[in-house]
Amino acid sequence: MKRTVYLLIAALSVSLLLGGCGQNSDPLAIREFIIGDSIGTVEQRGSGKDAEYVICITLPIETDFQNCTANITLADGASVNGDSPCLKADLGGRMVLDLTREPRDLIIENGSSSRSYGFEIGLSR
């Protein structure tokens, strides 16, 4: 019985490690996106060169959409492009975004590659 438990724990550990490795394979990935208490998710819609990347987040209706301070965790070596249409300021790693702008894109770059992320914003009371 103990041996079975140890084997299950070992298998789970290996799968978690391998799963984590897969996350690091995208050099332009947004790993975490948070505004206030709201956690966003990133969706890839489509594939290949036609793929669109969207940050989906639900924010309280009273949010100041012109001054949203976002905590963003990116892939190793990646950064937010200073020319991103919705970027107002970088406060030492915390980005101030204006989510009322059109286009409302956030551009992530790593080396010579870049990717634009759009937004899908839901409202909550």
The confidence score (pLDDT) of residue 10 equals 40
Counting residues of the chain whose pLDDT is more than 70, the rounded percentage is: 81
Q: Which residues contact 123 (CB under 8 A, 6 or more apart)?
A: 58, 59, 60, 61
The confidence score (pLDDT) of residue 1 equals 52
The confidence score (pLDDT) of residue 24 equals 58
The domain limits of the chain are 27-124
Instruction: State the CATH architecture for 27-124.
Output: Sandwich (2.60)
Q: Which residues contact 76 (CB under 8 A, 6 or more apart)?
A: 24, 27
For the whole model, what pTM was predicted? Answer: 0.79
Q: How many residues does the chain have?
A: 125
